[in-house]
Amino acid sequence: MFDILVVFPYFPQLLIGVLSTLAVSLSAIVIGLILGWLICIGLNSQQRIVFYLSKTYVSFYRGTPLLVQLILIFYALPTVGITLSPILAAVFALALNTAAFQGEILQAGFKMLPKGQMEAARDFGFTPTQTLFYIQMPQVFADDDAGID
């Protein structure tokens, strides 16, 4: 039978662990979402090299287990002179992994936008960058928030 009173003396240590987990998770999610936008833009790029680099990135990170990615980042980077603390390595690995998935989710959102909106933006004189930031991104973010959460 579980006795909750046994846990009370260890509550401060458990709270530190919970707060550390939240800090690592939130940091990785925010960084991953920002990188995911960049990956999404790369996946929708007309330049072949940018498209293929983004596609290769997504294929690698979606095709390898997260544990392998964590081990590679923590143990392989020091061999090339980059040493990270365990927490920073975890944030880095989780953010890179999250970015691949977020990039795919956001790309699906871009594909569902009607082509007529982009044509209308071009007719109104919007530059491609203005179309991206003022028309496409707000809609994609609003429609894909369930996949991002």
CB 1 within 8 A of CB 71: no
Q: What is the pLDDT of residue 149?
A: 52
Q: What is the pLDDT of residue 42?
A: 93
Q: What is the pLDDT of residue 4?
A: 84
Choice between 54 and 143, residue whose per-residue pLDDT is larger: 54
pLDDT digits (tens, 9 = 90+) for 90-138: 999 999 999 999 999 999 888 888 889 889 999 999 998 888 888 888 8
Average pLDDT value for residue range 85-89:
95
pLDDT at 143 exceeding the cut of 80 = no
Rounded Cα distance, 73 and 83, in Å: 9
**Domains of the chain by range and CATH?**
16-112 (1.10.3720.10), 114-149 (no CATH)
Q: What is the pLDDT of residue 148?
A: 57
The phi and psi torsions of 113 (rounded to 5 degrees) equal -70, 135
Average pLDDT value for residue range 67-85:
94
Average pLDDT value for residue range 41-60:
94
Q: What is the pLDDT of residue 144?
A: 61
The token pair at 8 is 């009370």
Q: What is the CA radius of gyration of the chain?
A: 20
Rounded Cα distance, 140 and 37, in Å: 10
Average pLDDT value for residue range 48-68:
96
One DSSP character per residue, 109-136 reads: HHHHS-HHHHHHHHHTT--HHHHIIIII
pLDDT at 50 exceeding the cut of 70 = yes
pLDDT at 76 exceeding the cut of 90 = yes
**Mean pLDDT of the residues in the chain:** 91
Q: What is the pLDDT of residue 145?
A: 61
Q: What is the pTM of this model?
A: 0.81
Rounded Cα distance, 83 and 74, in Å: 8
